[in-house]
Amino acid sequence: MSEESVLRCVLMLCCALLSANASNWLYLAKLSSVGSIRDEETCERLRGLIQRQVQICKRSVEVMDAVRRGAQLAIDECQFQFRNRRWNCSTLESMPVFGKVVTQGTREAAFVYAISAASVAFAVTRACSSGELEKCGCDHNVHGVSPEGYHWSGCSDNIAYGVAFSQSFVDVRERSKGQSSSRALMNLHNNEAGRKAILSHMRVECKCHGVSGSCEVKTCWKAMPPFRKVGNVIKEKFDGATEVEQRKVGTTKILVPRNSQFKPHTDEDLVYLDPSPDFCDHDPRTPGMLGTVGRQCNRTSKAIDGCELMCCGRGFQTQEVEVVDRCSCKFHWCCYVKCKQCRKMVEVHTCR
């Protein structure tokens, strides 16, 4: 190992240690035992929050349930979007939730940061509309609230509050460390990109209600996209993420594309610093790096979910298993399914 690479490793390790717990608040999703977060004392007991986040928690306890749902939403969506990839966003029962996979500044880390920042904004906005939170769009911390109040001109969009809360809660870790490290810059950028994925895909819906329902009077509002759509958008950004490095311009440090021939990234693009590992093998030193042994794969596909790529060339085994499937079902819109059981034989391919 050359001296340079050793130095680089040490540096990376330092960086990794510094920001190792940056997404630890996602551990909230695993805290089902706590019940709902009702009082300030619970905030102290929440694992995974840094001191400033605990302060935010105490200041706005009512929002924390939404934050926790957001964390769960982020993990679910991550697992859905990565279901066919070698790293399938598997979580651990311990902290950090994704193991050490996202501690380096990889594409995967970029995705996790973006989706989690987006999910908090989403969940808080949703909680606003269902009446769980009291401040929301009428909160004076949010920009754009008219001073005359609700009766004069109504409140601003709830999404403004959701995004503002996400900014204060999720970004606080990077902000507290100062803007110095490139990793903090990357995280902040990706957090913002995640929130932008919601903001730039808001649907504008309108209703005409003039004389006889004509469009003489028309009211429009913005509706949040479904979270699956947000996930898809961020996944697309993940596929086209830009590798960047830190550069000093004047007194400020910014991230610029490593390959100067590439078009500079926009606010909505994801950026990453380090190339991803191949995620092929189980690495006991890196929690969360589970490898692809035993994963199911698709024999006919040539993409990443195909057996060739998924199993990293180790080959796969094929089993014929009997699957009990539900068929000719009767559904109600909620909570009621009556099905027959159909059995069929399916070939299952698993990686060696």
Partner 1 sequence: MAGAIIENMSTKKLVIVGVALLLCQAFTFMVGGLIAPSPTTAVPYLATKCVDTIKHRQESKWFMPWGPNQCHKIRSFDEATAKMIEANNIVFAVHIPLPNKEMSSWFQFMLVILQFDIAFKMYNQIEDGAMVTIDVGLAYRDDTISEWTEMAHSFEQRKLSCNFTTAKTYENEGRYYECDLMPFMEVGSVSHKYYLLNMRLPVNERKKVNVGIGEIKDIRLVSIHQNGGFTQVWFAMKTFLTPSILIIMIWYWRRITLMSRPPVLLEKVILALGISMTFINIPVEWFSISFNWTWMLLFGDIRQGIFYSMLLSFWIIFCGEHLMETQFFEALVLGRGELKMCVSCVPAIQIFPERPTNKSQDQTERNRFSVYWKQVGPIVFGSFCLFIFDMCERGVQLTNPFYSIWASDVGTELAMAFIIVAGICACLYFLFLCFMVFQVFRNISGKRTSLPAMSKARRLHYEGLIFRFKFLMLVTLICAAMTVIFFIISQVNEGHWHWGEHTVQVNSAFFTGIYGMWNLYVFAIMFLYAPSHKRYGDEQSSGQCITGDAGANSGEDIQLTTTITHVDGPTEIYKMTGKEAQE
Alpha helix (H) residue ranges in 47-155: 51-59, 61-81, 107-129, 150-153
* Alpha-carbon span 24 to 112, nearest angstrom: 11
- Stretch of 91-99, 113-121, 151-159, 180-188 contacting partner 1, by CB under 8 A: 151-159
Q: Which of 1, 324, 334, 345 binds partner 1 (CB under 8 A)?
A: 334
Q: In what order do the strands lie in the sheet with 271-272?
A: 252-257, 242-249, 271-272
Question: By the 8 A CB rule, do 221 and 205 touch?
Answer: yes
Is 199 one of the binding residues for partner 1 (CB under 8 A)?
no
Nearer to partner 1, 14 or 342 (CB): 342
Nearer to partner 1, 62 or 274 (CB): 62
Q: Is the dihedral of CA 237, 240, 245, 248 positive or negative?
A: negative
Is 217 one of the binding residues for partner 1 (CB under 8 A)?
yes
Q: Which of 5, 212, 260, 300 binds partner 1 (CB under 8 A)?
A: 212
Q: Which of 146, 176, 179, 259 binds partner 1 (CB under 8 A)?
A: 146
Residues of 146-170 as b/e, b for ≥16 C-beta within 10 angstroms? eeeeeeeeebbbbbbbbbbbbbbbb
Q: Which of 38, 47, 207, 344 binds partner 1 (CB under 8 A)?
A: 207
Query: How far does the chain reach from its first CA to its final CA, in angstroms?
Result: 31
Chain positions 219 to 238 lying near partner 1, rule: CB under 8 A, are 219-221, 223, 226, 228-229
Nearer to partner 1, 247 or 326 (CB): 326
- Stretch of 113-121, 123-131, 189-197, 282-290 contacting partner 1, by CB under 8 A: 123-131
Is 31 one of the binding residues for partner 1 (CB under 8 A)?
no
Kind of pairing between the strands at 242-249 and 271-272: parallel
Closest CA to 270 of 200, 183, 193, 195: 193
Q: Alpha-carbon dihedral of residues 232, 234, 238, 239, nearest 10 degrees?
A: 40
* Alpha-carbon span 301 to 315, nearest angstrom: 14
Q: How far is the CB of 135 from partner 1 (least distance, A)?
A: 9
Q: How far is the CB of 46 from partner 1 (least distance, A)?
A: 20
Is 158 one of the binding residues for partner 1 (CB under 8 A)?
yes
Is 129 one of the binding residues for partner 1 (CB under 8 A)?
yes
Is 163 one of the binding residues for partner 1 (CB under 8 A)?
no
Is 333 one of the binding residues for partner 1 (CB under 8 A)?
yes
Q: Alpha-carbon dihedral of residues 95, 97, 101, 105, nearest 10 degrees?
A: -90
Is 153 one of the binding residues for partner 1 (CB under 8 A)?
yes
Chain positions 306 to 325 lying near partner 1, rule: CB under 8 A, are none
Residue 130 DSSP symbol: T
Q: How far is the CB of 307 from partner 1 (least distance, A)?
A: 18
Closest CA to 30 of 47, 52, 55: 47
Q: How far is the CB of 241 from partner 1 (least distance, A)?
A: 23
Question: By the 8 A CB rule, do 146 and 153 touch?
Answer: yes
Please report, as ranges, the residues that interact with partner 1 according to CB under 8 A.
69, 80, 126, 128-134, 136, 138, 146, 148, 150-155, 158, 205, 207, 209, 211-213, 215-221, 223, 226, 228-229, 326, 329-337
